[in-house]
Structure 1
Amino acid sequence: MNAIKLGFMASGMINIVAVLVFSRVFTNSVINEFDPVVMSNFGLLMIMVWGFVFLGASQVTQGIKWIAGAFALEKLVYVVAWVLWFKDNDLGLVYEQDLFAGIFYSIYGLNDFAFMLFFSWVFLSQNSSTKSVA
């Protein structure tokens, strides 16, 4: 297994496991309360769906360039949402209500930023004629 495949798998597993842990399997209403649009239970479920998509993409052996580009864009959207969230919210208030929600809001944008860089690197490093990444 190579770095690209492992990166895709790591991104997928982090999306799935982090949502389940920090949302306490969709029962942590504090996450929903502080961002009812992006982090509603539906939004959290969609983050998990993206995780499964990243896992599926880890099995792709050709034509990964544009898939990685789309994933980099998806991560950029979440990074921007996270930065904008900080503009209008107080992280301390989140921690006062729930430790898991506070940790979630502290790290999700950093995680998405790191994987945005990874997916961008994959996009930029793949030649149009590259046939395999595995």
Structure 2
Amino acid sequence: MNIKDGLITKGFILSGLMNIIGVLVFSQFFSNAVIPEYDTQAMSNFGLLMIVVWGCVFISVSKIYYKVKWLIGVFAIEKLIYATHWTNWMLNNTLSEVFAKDKMAGIYYAIYGINDWLFFVFFLIVFIQLIRTNK
């Protein structure tokens, strides 16, 4: 599979915006106490802030991604870690309990891992493409 440069750039921007806007909206600008309550490891307010920072990093390389192919590999690893963490969380927690306490937190927990799995695949494909084409 070969993704065109323009689409890759848009993918990086979309990934960044998903991180930034997703966290800010669902955490209600870090004021939602329910999100950190249900995952004190990854979703503390500090953890949420770091997700926003990652979003800024994704956007910052959107037009020069081909110059930092190994960093794109790191992006794939980062997304794999969050996606795996979410999958484990979903297997060991009750989503309806989060929804009962706060709808925004429930929606966040319901979707953030799907986003991370999708962008893991995107970053992995881009990384493999860069390695193969030796860009």
Question: TM-score interval w.r.t. the shorter chain?
Answer: over 0.9
Question: Does structure 1 retain, via aligned residues, the 8 Å contact 2:65–2:72?
Answer: no
Gaps of 5+ in 2: none
Query: Partners in 1 of 2:9 and 2:16 — Cα distance?
Result: 11
Counterpart mapping for 1:1-134 below 5 A: 2-60=6-64, 62-126=66-130, 127=132, 129-130=134-135
Question: Does structure 2 retain, via aligned residues, the 8 Å contact 1:65–1:128?
Answer: no
After the TM superposition, list the runs of 4 or more consecutive aligned residues in structure 1 that deviate by more than 2 angstroms. 61-65
The TM-score, its normalising length taken from structure 1, stands at 0.92
Specify the SS of the correspondent of 2:66: coil
Question: Does structure 2 retain, via aligned residues, the 8 Å contact 1:68–1:123?
Answer: yes
Amino acid aligned to 2:32: N
Amino acid aligned to 2:71: I
Specify the SS of the correspondent of 2:28: coil
Q: Which has the higher contact order (CA 8 A, sep 6+)?
A: 1
Query: Partners in 1 of 2:105 and 2:126 — Cα distance?
Result: 31
Q: Percent identity?
A: 48
The TM-score, its normalising length taken from structure 2, stands at 0.91
Query: Partners in 2 of 1:116 and 1:21 — Cα distance?
Result: 22
**How far 1:69 moved relative to its partner?**
1.0
Query: Partners in 2 of 1:102 and 1:85 — Cα distance?
Result: 13
Count of residues in correspondence between the two structures: 130
Question: Does structure 2 retain, via aligned residues, the 8 Å contact 1:19–1:44?
Answer: yes
Query: Partners in 2 of 1:62 and 1:97 — Cα distance?
Result: 44
Gaps of 5+ in 1: none
**How far 1:61 moved relative to its partner?**
5.4
**How far 1:83 moved relative to its partner?**
1.0
- Cα-Cα RMSD: 1.3
Query: Partners in 1 of 2:24 and 2:103 — Cα distance?
Result: 15
